Amino acid sequence: MNIGIFSGSFNPIHIGHLILANYIVEFTDIDEVWFLVSPHNPLKSEEELSSEHIRMEMTELALTKYPKIIACDFEFSMPKPSYTINTLNALRKQYPEYCFTLIIGADNWNVFESWREYDKILENYKLKVYPRLGSRITIPNKFRDKVEALESPIIEISSTFIRDSISEGKDVRAFLPDEVYDYIIEKDLYKQR
């Protein structure tokens, strides 16, 4: 089975994430997309993040209607910060029957060489790169058998935009799955920034 690993803070998960994952499981060779909730992204400060359990709960709520898209807390038991190469290797060891593909945005692809052991990722795993406004996807010939540029819809919604909007008292329910919006309101999340 081909598993796409879509790693992120998901603070909060929003419809852009769902549209992308749905595209991937329906229009590529990926059988399932696992939303890997990162407890601590090495490129972000921990203070910016809601608790990993709150973000996991929102992700689970968002995915209840999507059997091919799975919420995953695999990194919760791993050392922090989470480095992608370590996570992919640990996933491969725990699930040797699966083939893992990393899903990243064009913005991350353009700085991929700054990732820890990026060369080992490219050597051992496939990548699918989705388009982002303002970021070109250029794949050198030597990586064409490992890296695929997707022609997925470009949905420019960010979790930062949602958090900022909620803190300003805006109603952003159209940007979020209903269950996630209700959860944010019920738990009074993102009010003070």
CATH number of the domain within which 96 lies: 3.40.50.620
Which domain covers residue 11, as residue numbers?
A: 2-156
Residue 131 lies in a domain: yes
Structure tokens that stand for 10 in this block: 């998901």
Q: Specify the long-range contacts of residues 76-83, CB closer than 8 Å, at least 24 apart.
A: 76/37, 76/39, 76/52, 80/39, 80/40, 81/40, 81/41, 81/42, 82/7, 82/38, 82/39, 82/40, 82/41, 82/42, 83/42, 83/115, 83/116, 83/117
pLDDT of residue 47: 53
Q: What is the number of structural domains in the chain?
A: 1
Average pLDDT, the chain: 93
pTM exceeds 0.75, yes or no: yes
Q: What is the mean pLDDT of residues 58-87?
A: 94
Residue 191 lies in a domain: no
pLDDT of residue 45: 54
Residue 11 lies in a domain: yes
Q: What is d(CA 31, CA 1) in angstroms, rounded to the nearest whole number?
A: 6
Residue 47 lies in a domain: yes
Angle at alpha carbon of residue 170, lines to 167 and 176, rounded to 5°: 90
pLDDT of residue 81: 80
Residue 185 lies in a domain: no
